[in-house]
Structure 1
Amino acid sequence: MTLDMPGADLPGAADPTITDIIPAALAAIDPTLPGASAKAARALGIEAGAGQILLILVDGFGYELMMDHLGHTPTLRSVRTDIRSIHTIVPSTTSAAITAFGTGARPGATNMVGFSVVYGDGLMNLLAMEGGPAPAQWQPVPTYFERLGAQGVDCAVVSPARFAGS
């Protein structure tokens, strides 16, 4: 059975997704790093030999929105031929997608299955991680950064302080 949705950009089985970005970047630095994927690097057109990688994830800033507004972004406009469209995961909520990006795992494995879930007698907000257990208890999959840190690789994440440890 094939799903046909005119105008929809549906991913094929071999198309890169948000879960391929960090594995591809790691492979560009060192294909032996935990989580590195030469296959993902090839799919995204990322070449080996990088000394460092800087990844910037802007939530809610999709490919079409970016391409429609390149006139306002001279830096992005200067590299427009290198910009690739990739697919997110389902559900494409912030909590599910950022967790998939950071772990390489799909929402079912990370328990990040939407914006909120029923927990006990109430709702747990998966973005704010309110109304349920601590993030480390709820989301069991180690991030790429945790796996790399365990191997002695220096990593840094820049985000608001309230997300430290999440």
Structure 2
Amino acid sequence: MNSTWIILILANTLAVSLIALAVLLLARGREKKRRQAEIEELLAEIKDRQERRGDRLQLALIEKYRFGEEAAHSVAEVLMLAEKQFLYQFVEQLLGRQPLAGCYLNLCDLLDSYLNGALAAAHPPANAAAPSAVEPAAGNAAAAAGAETELPPPPDWGDVFD
């Protein structure tokens, strides 16, 4: 009789453990789906804000600095690519739980891009079709020249959250 009770208790314990494990896995799956939906919503909002910001930059270059539409579009596009690159690197650092020491350098690069864009907007080049060939600041001539001529492709936001 004792062995029957022991087997019955072990079987019940195993059944309760399996049910608890299934409930935990189900709860974890729902939480993962909820987080994924929040991230997708956030990415859609970021994309929408960046598009509006790019449009505002382009409009300001056209109205305030009297740029041509093509020149204003290309300068605004360069500035938005610089912002996207900074955000991509910042999110990578946060998700990788790496120290934010490189964040300052990335922010400086972003501000340099804005400075170069502002200089291009203040003094439109004679050839309005090539505003991406902006003169770099005197202190960072070599570094900025390489960064301005070869901008990396825009980040794929899906890669950040994998």
TM-score, length basis structure 2? 0.26
Q: Which has the higher contact order (CA 8 A, sep 6+)?
A: 2
Larger Rg: 2
Name the structure with the higher helix share: 2
